[in-house]
Amino acid sequence: MPSRTVQKAPKKPRLPADLGPAELPEHDLVDDAMYRELRFGALDLQGRDAQDVDFERCVLDGTRLAAAALERAGFADCAFSRCDLANVRLANGRTFTTTFSGSRMTGAAFTDCAFQDMVFEGCRADLAGFRFSTLKRVVFRDCNLEGASFQSADLRGVRFENCRLSGVQFSGAAMEGARFSGCDLRGVGGVRSLRGVIVAAGDAPGLLASLAAELDITIEEPFRDS
């Protein structure tokens, strides 16, 4: 039976009232850097390649990080707003108590990462990848996730609210207790991994074609005798 346990809401980032301004070149992305209690505005950090960077209690508003490659990066108590994260690559990263709102994340790849107490809201994350990642107390709300991949991810208890999920790949994912409400589920892959999820009644018809294809069921129109 699906888990009926009510999942706790994600914790909110703890951000100080006053943040120092981040400036280049002082706060550029470099290996082993620590960024603490800073406000990153519309800085151009696109295409950076850095390892073992850590952000704590930072706000990133309009920051451009497209195509950056970050290995073992850490984010704690941060808020991303209107950022460009398209095609960013984050491997073996750890992100806690952080929000992403109104940000572009098309084609982003978060591989073998840990996400905890997270909210993604109003983000364009089509074709994004969360492969082999663990998500705990995470909410996706009003996001475009079309064509995204959650292959072999741990999504137990994750909430998807009013999201576009057509063509999303869930193959090999652990999903018991995950919830879908107000979502477009047409053409999702890996439907066998959906065992134990909770789907709103209005979302269920979108799963029909995928379930039929997975189970080799033929759906035909009613026969009409002319």
Place of tokens 């706790």: 8
Reported as a single tens digit per residue, the pLDDT across 143-186 is 999 999 999 999 999 999 999 999 999 999 999 999 999 999 98
- CB burial class (10 A; 0-12, 13-18, 19+) of residue 56? middle
| 184, 178 contact by CB (below 8 A) | no
Q: pTM for this structure? A: 0.91
* 2-11, 31-40, 51-60, 105-114: least confident range: 2-11
> What residue ranges define each of the domains in the chain, with the CATH number in brackets?
20-214 (2.160.20.80)
How high does pLDDT run on average in the chain? 93
Residues with Cβ within 8 Å of 95's Cβ and at least 6 positions away in sequence, in order, are 74, 75, 76, 78, 113, 114, 115, 116, 118
CA dihedral 20, 24, 29, 30 (to 10 degrees): -110
Distance CA 102, CA 214 (A): 34
